[in-house]
Amino acid sequence: MKGSRILILVAIVAAVGAFFALDLGRYLSLDFVKSQQAAISTYAAQNPFAAAAAFFAVYVAVTGLSLPGAAILTLVGGAVFGLLWGTVIVSFASSIGATLAFLVSRFLLRDWVQQKFGDKLAPINAGVEREGAFYLFALRLVPAFPFFVVNLVMGLTPIRAATFYWVSQVGMLAGTVVFVYAGTQLAQITSLRGILSPGLIGAFVLLGLFPFIAKRIVETLKARKVYAKWPKPASFDRHVVVIGAGSAGLVTSYIAAAVKAKVTLVERHKMGGDCLNTGCVPSKALIRSAKFLSHVRRAKEFGIHTASADFDFAQVMARVQSVVKQVEPHDSVERYSGLGVDCLAGTARITSPWTVEVTLEGGEKRTLTTKNIVIAAGARPFVPPIPGLPTRTRSPPTRSGTCARCRSGSWCWAAAPSARSSRRPSRAWARR
């Protein structure tokens, strides 16, 4: 470490050590301020510029050295200088002090941290270079972390000092106004009745609501930044557009229709999705038959001497399809249309945060504007490209729409060309 850095580090350590060794923190307590309120206010009234300069210097020193007491000093600023001048003094003092802490952290630690952890910090550095001002603004507006931690950590990043200062100045302004206003009300407390004064209650309400209001502001700014590329429609055709009529899409459409929302449900294949057609319902029906055969084979375990059963797989699969047909009306277009859902058969494509282009079965295209888009399109299994592992694809159905081997609709599969030879297809097989 260079000599200049050692000197600065020694000076900072000495100043912080003296602060705690001499118990200077007692002068930054609310009790002390209240006990000396009259004397401080009198001196400030007689020497406004000297009092403002001294207060400014103390505030910069406290924030620059990351000492505790900035919140009390902010209240004192409101109590002594009033809302307007208290806000001005505290705003500039806090921003300058925060920038000094930022520069000290950068001067003493950034090179060492970047050399030691540079490879791990590369994504963070890239994000700060790209959107560091927004991240800092969010941290200032919503005090999720103590400000002194933000000052020190941001000094280790590539963000420019000028950017750090003006973002801190703007980001901390709202919180500064709230705290300074609370200080103006605290200065008026002379008895227990003053504690319940409307102004003081309002100040504490603002303090409680500030994080929520600030969070909403950050979310709004972030949304505007994301959606700035697309023009927002003046009006919307639908409240919700749901893409996919599987379990999630059907439940979403049902709930939205129940609260009288305008809902459009888009499905390009079959209503009910995997759950009704190839997953939950057919698999459980098939498992029921298999379990029955298993119990027959294990008849002696249940105290039955002999039991036998003959089965035809095609008939078993026919039963599976009959079970699907029984459940199908609950997930049908007719039922959901009766509930008030606009069901469209086609392919949906999101063209903006508020528009969905639907290509109907006949080729016609419709563009819907909506406030909300729910993507419930499901997924497909991924078969890893392992040598020797065949990729299974659906067997082409016959003209009647059923498998040529077992007449089971969509339940049969055929092996793709073997991994050993890409020219000659392997023998087709059925999952049974």
pLDDT in tens, 215-237: 778 788 888 888 888 888 889 99
**173-208 pLDDT, tens digit each:** 878 888 888 888 765 554 444 444 566 556 656 665
Residue 162 per-residue DSSP state = H
How far is the C-alpha of 73 from the C-alpha of 57, rounded, in Å?
Answer: 11
Per-residue pLDDT at 4: 76
Per-residue pLDDT at 209: 67
Q: Which residues make beta-bridge pairs with 347?
A: 359
For all residues of the chain together, what is the average pLDDT?
81
- Domains of the chain, CATH where assigned: 3-227 (no CATH), 238-375 (3.50.50.60), 390-432 (no CATH)
Number of C-beta neighbours around residue 319 at 10 A: 14
Are the beta carbons of 141 and 91 closer than 8 angstroms? Answer: no
Per-residue pLDDT at 208: 57
**70-87 pLDDT, tens digit each:** 888 888 888 888 889 999
The pLDDT confidence band at residue 409, using thresholds 50, 70 and 90, is very low
Return the half-sphere exposure (C-beta side, CA atoms, 13 A cut-off) of residue 391: 14
Per-residue pLDDT at 17: 86
- Is this prediction's pTM over 0.75? no
Average pLDDT of span 108-131: 81
Pick from 127-131, 186-190, 372-376, 384-388: least confident: 186-190
How far is the C-alpha of 52 from the C-alpha of 151, rounded, in Å?
Answer: 24
- Higher-confidence residue of 357 and 396: namely 357
Relative to beta strand 263-267, strand 238-243 is: parallel
The pLDDT confidence band at residue 97, using thresholds 50, 70 and 90, is very high
**294-348 pLDDT, tens digit each:** 999 998 998 998 888 888 999 999 999 999 999 999 999 999 999 999 999 999 9
Per-residue pLDDT at 188: 57
Are the beta carbons of 345 and 267 closer than 8 angstroms? Answer: yes
Q: 243: helix, coil or strand?
A: strand
DSSP 314-351: HHHHHHHHHHHHHHGGGGSHHHHHHTTEEEEEEEEEEE
Pick from 11-15, 392-396, 411-415: least confident: 411-415
